Amino acid sequence: MAPNDERDELRVDEYGAENIQVLEGLEAVRKRPGMYIGSTGEQGLHHLVYEIVDNAIDEALAGHCDHIEVEILEGDVIRVTDNGRGIPIGIQPQTGKPALEVVYTVLHAGGKFGGGGYKVSGGLHGVGASVVNALSEWVEVEVCTDGRRVMMAFRRGEVTKKLTELGSTDRHGTTVTFKPDPEIFRDTTVYNYDTLLTRMREQAFLNAGLRITLTDSRSDSPTAGESQSMCYEGGVASFVEYLNTNKTVVHPTPIYVSGEVKEKNPHGVEEMKYVEIALQYNDGYNETLISFANNIHTPDGGTHEAGFKAALTRVLNAYGKKYNILKDEEKLSGEDTREGLCAIVSVKLEEPQFEGQTKSKLGNTEMRTLVDNILSDKLETYLEENPAVARTILDKALSASRAREAARKARESIRRKTALGGAAMPDKLRDCNINDPELTEIYIVEGDSAGGSATQGRDSAFQAILPLWGKMLNVEKARADKVYGNDKLQPVITALGAGIGDEFDLSKLRYHKVIIMADADVDGAHIRTLLLTFFFRFMRPLIEQGYVYAAVPPLYKLTRGKNTRVAYSDPERDRISAEMRADNPNARVEISRYKGLGEMNPEELWETTMDPRTRTLKRIQLDDAIRADAVFNVLMGEKVEPRKDFIESRARYAVNLDY
């Protein structure tokens, strides 16, 4: 079965003004935007685009759209055009207003509440269009439908131009143009082309045969003029191949399975549920499992992921026992069966139940059983028909199991030594006096010299210091057993106290600020990257929950007489230098470049880098796990060529290499 064989099953032809259902008015969106788009930062800014694109994709799911164009215009104005049916423009019965106006001005209004407009939809709550309208400085919507071309205009959620006829047309579809409101998005209103590209590519993969084109038409953008048109007939199987691009796969073709069921809901109405899964193993140690429900990424998983994991573990164990690949009491854990796995789980259903407005987790209990049944049945058949691939997968899982056992023994050995030796913490750790994790922070410092200065300069009440020396293990190329045995990483694991991998427990974390403090040079950047790779691969919740920071040490020391100041960048150096010479333009200001943290005395280190009143910390955030996974793999993985290409393609952006 091809990935898009079932598209006709999703088609519903009846779609008019009577399909638009009104649930409640548009209230409090501008007052509490985070409830609807997650945040008013960069993430929320891009979410506006996703909401409009999701509406167009719903048209594709219904079988009426095969091309969506997204363009970033001058001034970071967004234009989204689709060739779907066009938003209905007739009078909506409940309000007596044009359906187009209702969709853009009333919260929870749309064709996704059982009105027959859509069978399957990502826009579950019907808030997309109205929320974008409420949070935009202005919005213009042009609709081509039933031979008519009309438009409406809005400003901060209010109608500024009523439904206006623009003439006749033989086209069909909707064009939405909007400018995010700087009163709402105060941090930034600048769109990142790569962020949008990642999302658009993802949606093109999930909707086989749908073409999505993204263009950056801004003249002042680093990506000015760039454009990509994406269409993947292979669907989620192509998605898996893409994710494994820079990895060495252990079987050449992804395993693809799909299935659907039609069953009656508690109200006696027949509903369709559809599942498609693609998976492929690579020779790495990391798991990449990405799930979607109605094309909405579910980063926190849910019932569909649970069904996938249960079926995969059970089927591989059964196959291993049947053919004596697993001996005696050997049994693979779920972690073993997913080492090196790259998988996409995509489900579509008429009544999805998401947890939270941002739809991060699927809650429909029946989807666990459905995914489990479909994967179990078809994966069993695949393994029987492809014994060479089956053996390769089982051998890899067995290798992972033995490594897991080695990691367990290494962990137990460390625990025994700790218990017998009576020294629970690393020798080099200089702990703080307060025990409350919410009030404490730990500086992981590059080098013993800097560690000594930090220890002397710190506030010992709440600041702990852990010096590291030399380059640590690159965990992108290592399993957990190697991590536990590493003399550079083991002190970090012990000091933080929360474990690693599947055993990681955020509630046991001993400090709620984990601060990486390294020199502002290439070596320091390498240390930061190695530590971040470790945190991302083995302590990901640490980053996801915002506990990891990077300290920003000064680059320059400026002295005029007895007056001394520091600068953190070249422009700041020049500005401070001018300020120090303001009363005497010919005065000499001595400028010295800090070579490293170790040459700063304790007082300098405290005042510039550690004092909460004056320091600068950069919180490490994980906005896109898929992109982060790919970047870590490219930059820290085995293959040199992708790393070289990555660096060369981005060299023009490296205006200032100082941290």
Catalytic residues: 446, 519, 521, 523
Q: Measure the CA angle with vertex 69, ends 66 and 73; round to 5°.
A: 175
Name the E strands within 532-657. 548-551, 556-560, 563-567, 590-593, 617-619
What pairs with residue 404 in β-bridges? none
Cβ contacts of 572-575, under 8 Å, gap ≥ 24 = none
Alpha-carbon distance of 373 to 380, in angstroms, equals 11
Contact between 277 and 346 under an 8 Å Cβ cutoff? The reply is: yes
Length of the chain: 659
Name the E strands within 350-390. none
Tokens describing residue 549: 């920071």
Contact between 280 and 255 under an 8 Å Cβ cutoff? The reply is: yes
Taken in order 648, 223, 288, 513, the sign of the CA dihedral is positive
> 637: how many CB neighbours lie within 10 A of its CB?
19
Alpha-carbon distance of 190 to 77, in angstroms, equals 9
Alpha-carbon distance of 511 to 284, in angstroms, equals 31
Task: Give the 3-state secondary structure of residue 39.
Answer: coil
What pairs with residue 131 in β-bridges? none
Give the CA diameter of the chain.
88
Query: In degrees to the nearest 10, what's the CA dihedral of 408, 409, 413, 414?
Result: -30
Residue with tokens 């909506």: 92
Return the closest-CA partner of residue 529 out of 542, 538, 539, 516. Answer: 516
Contact between 114 and 21 under an 8 Å Cβ cutoff? The reply is: yes
Task: Give the 3-state secondary structure of residue 225.
Answer: coil
Task: Give the 3-state secondary structure of residue 99.
Answer: helix
Q: Give the end-to-end CA distance of the chain in Å, rounded to a whole number.
A: 51
Contact between 634 and 643 under an 8 Å Cβ cutoff? The reply is: yes
Alpha-carbon distance of 336 to 503, in angstroms, equals 14
Alpha-carbon distance of 132 to 652, in angstroms, equals 34
Contact between 86 and 210 under an 8 Å Cβ cutoff? The reply is: no
